[in-house]
Copies of this chain bind each other. A is one copy, B any other.
Amino acid sequence: MKGSTVRNPSRAAELFHALADPTRLEILDELKEGECCVCELTDRLQAGQSRLSFHLKVLKDAGMIVDRREGRWMYYSVNADALAELDDLVDSLKQAKRARRATGCC
């Protein structure tokens, strides 16, 4: 198991940050239907090209998506590993590893 990311607040924050924007969530919502190029996203999402490019970069830097060049088009798609990582992260927010706090306060 990887496990390292779950214990790393900065990495976790980076991943959650990538998801903390409506435009980026809409991008992911499109990409989950399959690979897609920027020009198509521009159509679907009513967003300017440089704006999309900016958000795609955030998602890519965080590892949420991967890209592939084909001729002059860039195809983006969701990175399945990142989704697994997300699952781990959300799980790690739940598990109580130690026994419930025994002492009261202060």
Say yes or no for A47: interface residue by CB 8 A criterion. Answer: no
Chain B residue contacts of A16, Cβ below 8 A: 16-17, 19-20, 25
Copy number in the complex reads: 2
Say yes or no for A56: interface residue by CB 8 A criterion. Answer: no
**Interface size class of chain A, counting residues whose CB lies under 8 Å from the partner chain:** 35 or more
Q: What distance in Å separates the Cβ of A31 from its nearest Cβ neighbour in chain B?
A: 9
Per-position contact with B for A79-97: 1 when CB-CB < 8 Å, else 0?
Answer: 0000100110010011111
Interface residues of chain A, those whose CB is within 8 Å of chain B, are 9-10, 12-13, 16-17, 19-23, 25-26, 28-29, 32-37, 39-40, 73, 75, 78, 83, 86-87, 90, 93-98, 100-101, 105-106
